Amino acid sequence: MAFRIAIREDAELRLLEEHHASGIYRLVEANRARLRRWLPWVETTRSAEDIREFIRRSLEQFARNEGYSAAIWFQDKPVGVIGFHPVDWSNKKAELGYWISAGVEGKGLVTDACRVLIHYAFDELKLNRVEIRCATGNAKSCAIPTRLGFQFEGMLRQAQLLWHGYLDLNVYGLLVSEWADPKHPSRVQVLR
């Protein structure tokens, strides 16, 4: 089942598999303070076994054709995770989520990884809409859909409860009709 997709010469996506669990958990531990500020699952992730359980659910999701989660690898090391929330087939839409290690922020790796998943959503799954939701205060995350040409569609007030309180979430959407434009910023040729 394993697959790899190159996103750059020194970076690729690898389908998350159970043997990645301890490496990913080490990354979560090293980045816990900044991740827990924005991601609700961090509080309940207390061991590599919790990550293994997440990976099992992701693989089941992939087997149901509801999208996948991948580790982002940079210079031969895992540095983050990107994936689909389960695809909403009734409405032909999907939502993306991501995080990356502090040491490799600012290189455009997540933006490039999003392009690969957008390509998969539109060209392979034939979905109509891809969505990204980010907390209003999470400027680095909000910059990603903006950079990729998503439209800002609105803000959901107090839509996510974290340990430090409710977060307002910005909703960004991209439609296949917009992405079909060859000049669209999220459109890239994915080489296999």
Ligand X SMILES: CC(C)(COP(=O)(O)OP(=O)(O)OC[C@H]1O[C@@H](n2cnc3c(N)ncnc32)[C@H](O)[C@@H]1OP(=O)(O)O)[C@@H](O)C(=O)NCCC(=O)NCCS
Judged by the rule CB under 6 A, the positions of this chain that interact with ligand X are 34-35, 38-39, 98-100, 105-111, 134, 138, 140-141, 144
Provide the minimum distance between the beta carbon of 135 and ligand X in the complex, in angstroms, as a whole number. Answer: 6
Check if the beta carbon of residue 90 is closer than 8 Å to that of residue 159. no
- We find the least distance from the C-beta atom of residue 9 to ligand X, in angstroms, to be 12
Q: How far apart are CA 24 and CA 45, in angstroms?
A: 11
Distance, in Å, from the CA atom of 17 to the CA atom of 38, rounded to the nearest integer, reads: 24
Q: How far is the CB of 107 from ligand X (least distance, A)?
A: 5
> For 40, which DSSP code?
G
User: Which alpha helices (H) appear in 36-103, and where do they start and end?
Assistant: 48-63
- Looking at the Cβ atoms of 2 and 6, the one nearer to ligand X is 6
Pick 83 or 122: Cβ nearer ligand X: 83
C-beta of 90 vs 163, nearer to ligand X? 163
Helix (H), strand (E) counts: the chain = 5, 8
For the CB of residue 126, give the shortest distance to ligand X in the complex, in Å.
25
